[in-house]
Every structure is written in C-alpha cells, then in structure tokens.
C-alpha cells in the first residue's frame, strides 16, 4: 500500500512549546478553549457521584490514561484557571481573541436541579467576569444543565440576555436519550430565539470499556460521540424544526463530515433513516466546525465538504489533545489563498459570534508587520 500523505505525519505539539513558525497577518479567534472554575469543584466535592468519579473513569478510560490525565491537569492548572497565564500563551501562539467555554470535566450531568443551578451559576458568572475584565481578549460561552431541559433554557436566557455571553457549550448526550430527545425542544427553541451559538463538545464516550486502552476513549471515542450527536440532530428532524439553530461542533465534527456519502446513501435506501427532510449531507452546510483535525489535508476535505464559511479556528486550549500550531496548520492547507486564511482564522468566527468591526479585540489587534514577525 502506498500512502500519499507524504510530509503530513507529525507528532503533537504541546501548549507550552514555541509557536511553529510566524503567525499569519489575520485577526485570529480561537473558538475552542476551556476555562475551569475551582468554585465548582468545591460545590460538588462531597457529592457521592463526584466521589465515585475516579473509579468510573479508571474503568472507562483505563488506569494508565487516568493517571496521565491527573498529571496533565495538574500541569495545565494555571492555564485552565488564570487569565493572565492564558493571555501570555495567546500572544505567543498568535491568538487575538479566545472564546471561553466551560471545561467539559465540569458538565456534571448527574447533578439534580438544585445542584445544577449552583454549578451553572458559578461557571457562567466566572466566565462572564473574565470577559468583562478583558473584553479585548475574551468572549464567552456559558454552561447549561441540559439534563434538566426547562432549567437549561432558563440558564441560556440568563447567560445571553443578562451576562452577555454568546451562547453555551453542551455535551453529546446529556439526558441519556440523545440530542433528538423531544424533551430538549424547549432548549432548542430558546437557543434559536436568542440567536445563541451552541458549541457541541463531548466528554468521554458511550463505547465503554472497549476503548479503555491507548487513550482510545478520547482519540476515537470523542469524535464518534460528536458524529452520533450531529447525526441525531439531523436524522431526528431537530434541524428541520429549528431551522435557524447555530451549532458549532468540536474536533471538526468528528467523522461525519469525512463520510457524508454513507449517511446520504442510508437516507436513500432505508426508511428508518428518513427522519429529516433532505439528504443528511446537506445539513452540514448549515453548521459550523472547528479546525481541530491536525492535518492540513484533512482541513481541506472539511472545507470542501461543508464550505469555507462554516469552518472556524480552534485549539482545544489548554489540553494536551489541542492543536497549538494553528497558524502553521492554516498556512499548509492546500489551495487556500490569503482571503481563505483570513476567513478561517477569524472572519468566520466573527460572523458566527456577531462581532462587528468595532469589537475591542479587533481594534486591539490592528495587525502591523511588527506584530506578525
């Protein structure tokens, strides 16, 4: 077998390493970066579900991955929690604006309604506070307790209308019934009414112990969770009922944008796959996808499948599965001219987030040759 990806194989780059090459001369928005709120950990510390979490993680991801994750999270702790540390990283990596979202480790979908109110309030107030303190460097997406759909709709309304956040981050299966669960329609309806950005980012995988070696729970499992969740939104008719939803999927949308033909074929030949009004692949051009796919040729395929305007830059800051050679990745995408680079790095995210030309981050960036050396 001959591989025609010569020169594209490379090991991962750590968040602490120097930037790989100079930045491109374009306003750059990181749509995929997380903030952990220590007060949330204090809030859930004594709960039985929290106390059982370590044993469950060891079973589902494996003892080796759990041990390494604990070391990694200790190492990135200041980056997860301290704005000044992340601003220094942003300057080094060529990021003008971070769109903060909750750390997925703090979803806590097991929380009852009372605890969920406290957890989400602490997260959203913390994210909004960072944005208020440095509006030229940060925007924010909040948390919602989607296991309680009515409460989640209320929390999204508070996050957007009162705290000024741009939307919310959600996980792939908060109720155990999929994102096409009819009980979630109250949330989707409110998200559409608010014109909120909904960032889909899974935590773990439903594949169970089958992938508890080699970090497959994340490497394979999380993209599969995104693939399933997006497929539920499509086949379940959610995107037909709520045609103006603004969904942005992490990790390049998982596997779905790279094999849409199989979904389209199933739609054509299987009656039970026809819960949507049109071929599934058509819906991909109505969603947004981040650039965390690690290879320039993969990013090229994503662009060709969903459209240039539907792809936004992301790093997955500050976790070790992030893409920190962002400008180099964009630079190496085949056939991408300067205008396309500008769209991917910041133009598309600015449109998605409704950032105007006078946004403080745009005014601050005002890139000059000295800034991009």
If the chain, 373 residues long, is cut into consecutive pieces of 10 residues, what is the mean pLDDT of each piece? Answer: 47 74 94 98 92 86 90 92 96 97 96 97 98 98 98 98 98 95 98 98 91 93 97 98 98 97 96 96 98 97 98 97 96 97 98 95 76 49
* Domain 29-366, CATH class in plain words: alpha beta
Q: Rounded to whole angstroms, how far apart are CA atoms 172 and 176? A: 9
Please state the separation of Cα 245 from the chain's center in Å.
16
Which burial class, exposed, middle or buried, applies to 125 when counting CB atoms under 10 A from its CB (0-12, 13-18, 19+)?
A: middle
Rg (CA), the chain: 20
Non-local (6+) Cβ contacts of 88 within 8 A are: none
Which positions ≥6 away from 363 have C-beta within 8 Å?
Answer: 136
Residue 311 burial by Cβ neighbours in a 10 Å radius (0-12, 13-18, 19+): buried
HEC per residue, 208-254 = HHHHCCCCHHHHCHHHHHHHHHHHHHHHCCHHHHCCCCEEEECHHHC
Please tell me what DSSP assigns to residue 116. H
**The pLDDT value given to residue 2:** 38
Domain ranges within the chain, ordered by starting residue: 29-366
251 contacts 225 by C-beta, under 8 angstroms: no
């Amino acid at each position: 077998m001959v591989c025609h990806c010569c020169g594209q194989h490379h090991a991962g780059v750590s968040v602490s390493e120097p930037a790989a090459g100079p930045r491109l001369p374009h306003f750059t928005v990181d749509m995929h970066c997380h903030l952990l709120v220590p007060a949330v950990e204090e809030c859930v510390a004594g709960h039985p579900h929290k106390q059982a979490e370590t044993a469950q993680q060891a079973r589902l991801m494996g003892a080796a991955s759990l041990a390494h994750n604990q070391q990694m999270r200790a190492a990135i702790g200041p980056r997860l929690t301290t704005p000044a540390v992340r601003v220094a990283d942003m300057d080094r990596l060529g990021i003008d604006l971070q769109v903060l979202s909750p750390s997925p480790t703090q979803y806590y979908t097991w929380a009852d309604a009372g605890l969920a109110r406290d957890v989400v309030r602490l997260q959203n107030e913390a994210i909004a506070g960072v944005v208020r303190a440095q509006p030229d460097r940060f925007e924010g997406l909040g948390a919602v307790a989607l296991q309680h759909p009515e409460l989640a709709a209320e929390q999204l309304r508070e996050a957007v209308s009162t705290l000024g956040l741009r939307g919310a981050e959600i996980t792939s299966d908060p109720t155990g019934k999929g994102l096409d669960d009819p009980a979630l329609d109250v949330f989707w309806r409110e998200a559409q009414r608010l014109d909120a950005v909904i960032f889909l980012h899974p935590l773990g995988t439903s594949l169970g112990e089958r992938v508890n070696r080699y970090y497959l729970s994340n490497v394979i499992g999380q993209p599969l969770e995104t693939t399933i969740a997006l497929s539920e939104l499509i086949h379940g008719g959610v995107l037909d009922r709520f045609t103006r939803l603004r969904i942005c999927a992490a990790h390049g949308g998982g596997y779905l944008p790279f094999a849409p033909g199989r979904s389209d074929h199933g739609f054509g030949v299987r009656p039970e796959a026809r819960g949507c009004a049109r071929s599934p692949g058509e819906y991909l051009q109505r969603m947004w996808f981040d650039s965390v796919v690690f290879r320039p040729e993969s990013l090229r395929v994503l662009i060709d499948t969903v459209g240039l305007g539907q792809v936004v830059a992301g790093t997955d800051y500050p976790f070790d599965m992030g893409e920190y050679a962002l400008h180099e990745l964009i630079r190496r995408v085949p056939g991408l001219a300067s205008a396309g680079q500008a769209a991917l790095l910041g133009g598309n995210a600015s449109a998605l987030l409704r950032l105007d030309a006078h946004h403080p981050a745009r005014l601050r960036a005002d890139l000059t040759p000295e800034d991009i050396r």
